[in-house]
Amino acid sequence: MSDVKMWGAEPYYGLGYDFDPQWLFADEQKKIQKKLIELCHSTLRPNAIQSDKSLEYPRKNMEALASAGLLALHVPKSLGGLGQNHLCCAMVLEAIGRYGCPSTALVYSMHLLAVTALLFRAKGNKEIEKVLRRLNKDVFIGTASYSDPETGSHFWYPVASKAEKTANGWRVNKRSSWTTSGGFADFYVVQTTSPDFKGNYADLSVFLIYADEVKAQVSTWDAMGMRGNQSGPITIDSVEIPADRMIGPPGDGAKSNDEAVDPITLVNFGASYNGMALGMIDIARKQALGKTHADVGMRVADYPTIQDYVGEAIMDTQASRFYTYGCAQALDQVTNNCDWSIHEKDPDAMPRAGLLTWTWMTKFIACKNVYNVGDKMLHACGGTGYKRALEIERLFRDSRAGWMMGPTNEVLRQFVGKWALLGLESLDYWNQSVNDRVLNNELKKLDAAGKQKLIDKLSAEIKSAGKAAR
């Protein structure tokens, strides 16, 4: 394979393979990468401009990805997929974010998330197998709807949801504030409280829902960036589904999140935002080399200030890429290269979950880096960068979504700091453990009347809970 990176018939205008860790990838993966760059040139990038202008959902780009088998990238070959590993998923996401279309990178990340949830519990479920076999053939696009209108960033806490057991299966109710591909996807993976829910929000179940069972408000999506991703609200309104549309057993939600969905998606998110950082460096390189100041005869690229901007942006982004690829490789190591049969042999196997805290950091680092790189690369492009034609402003806007996508960078930063200082159990995702220090400190502030009022309130609560239990 030639080591000149091509962009159509021309050498690529940005950084060449000298700046890419090509040694990480097997030959088969490099072929996927090359084909993907061609698809980005011919299809994904032109459609990115269109999606941004008119909020058009990038279905054509997903069709292009399906034509290369990529909708079933980490699906085993026995189920019609490419059987690729976590590293390859990260490489593909980075390439789509960099050379193609960030909205498509997000749509595709959420598709892989949905496929991951299915793969984790595919064993013995014919309905899941049917979906997995359709992915490329029918351009069957999946997404995940987790975020809840009442708990926002705490998307693992679906208070506006419920599920009940019926004679033939399950009745599912769900309101969701954001769903990438909402109204455009063919299938949705959703989490609700479990059918026998008793108030413990860690007791979640996962369902497979089809497009005709979802009410979406597609006309409401209008955002600063990621304009093609169409992340509008959706409702699943008391929909009855057959028994085999529960993914895994009742109460499998927390396991599905910790073992499958979260580690893989956080690495994929990190990779796509690394791609956007690289995409902006590439454009800045082109602009800095193409613009000359006639008075001094210097190109923008000849100024040491601009060289410093680019040098620092590259080094920070390489650090983020290496962290991301390192996490992907760690996931490959513990799963025998993304071998899903591990979970068929032992449904309790959770090899990825031990790396979850590492993958939190991937998303944080990449989404922080892309902010800094975006600022500096925009500066390097001067006023021209501010205009649409150069395309850096679109990447800049699109790349801003990463920070506030769940888990948000505020939440992640606090998770890691709290974990380091107070221990993992202190994170208390589902609001179950009492912080005695905070409680005692607040109680100290009450006078006698305040304390009595609190005693009366708590006594009334205990009485009514007792009555309800009888």
Ligand X SMILES: Cc1cc2nc3c(=O)[nH]c(=O)nc-3n(C[C@H](O)[C@H](O)[C@H](O)COP(=O)(O)OP(=O)(O)OC[C@H]3O[C@@H](n4cnc5c(N)ncnc54)[C@H](O)[C@@H]3O)c2cc1C
Could you give the string, one character per residue 230-259, with x where binding to ligand X holds by CB under 6 A and - elsewhere? -x----------------------------
297 sits in the region (left: phi over 0; alpha: psi -120 to 50; else beta) called left
146 binds ligand X (CB under 6 A): yes
Please report, for residues 6, 20, 35, 226, the alpha-carbon distance to residue 3 in angstroms, rounded to integers and kept in the order given.
Answer: 9, 11, 14, 32
265 binds ligand X (CB under 6 A): no
SS3 state of residue 238: strand
Closest distance of CB 412 from ligand X, Å: 9
Whichever of 16 and 152 has its CB closer to ligand X, that residue is: 152
Number of residues that bind ligand X (CB under 6 A): 23
Interacting residues with ligand X between 175 and 204 (CB under 6 A)? 178-180
406 binds ligand X (CB under 6 A): yes
Could you give the string, one character per residue 302-321, with x where binding to ligand X holds by CB under 6 A and - elsewhere? --------------------
Say which residues have a Cβ less than 8 Å from residue 420's Cβ, sequence separation at least 6.
none
Torsion of CA 304, 306, 307, 309, to 10 degrees: 120
Whichever of 105 and 144 has its CB closer to ligand X, that residue is: 144
Name the amino acid, one letter, at 67.
S
Closest distance of CB 31 from ligand X, Å: 30
Q: Which of 153, 235, 318, 329 binds ligand X (CB under 6 A)?
A: 153
Whichever of 42 and 426 has its CB closer to ligand X, that residue is: 426
Interacting residues with ligand X between 209 and 228 (CB under 6 A)? 226
Whichever of 144 and 209 has its CB closer to ligand X, that residue is: 144
Name the amino acid, one letter, at 62.
M
What would you measure as the largest C-alpha separation in the chain, in angstroms?
89
Distance between CA atoms of 86 and 105, rounded to whole angstroms? 16
For residue 130, what are its two tokens? 């049917």
Beta-ladder partners of 142:
187
Q: Report CA 100 to chain centroid distance, whole Å.
A: 17
Closest distance of CB 193 from ligand X, Å: 16
Residue 382 CB: number of other CB atoms within 10 A? 15
| Residue showing the smallest CB distance to ligand X in the complex | 152
Residues that bind ligand X (CB under 6 A): 110, 143-147, 152-153, 155, 178-180, 226, 229, 231, 401, 404-406, 408, 410-411, 414
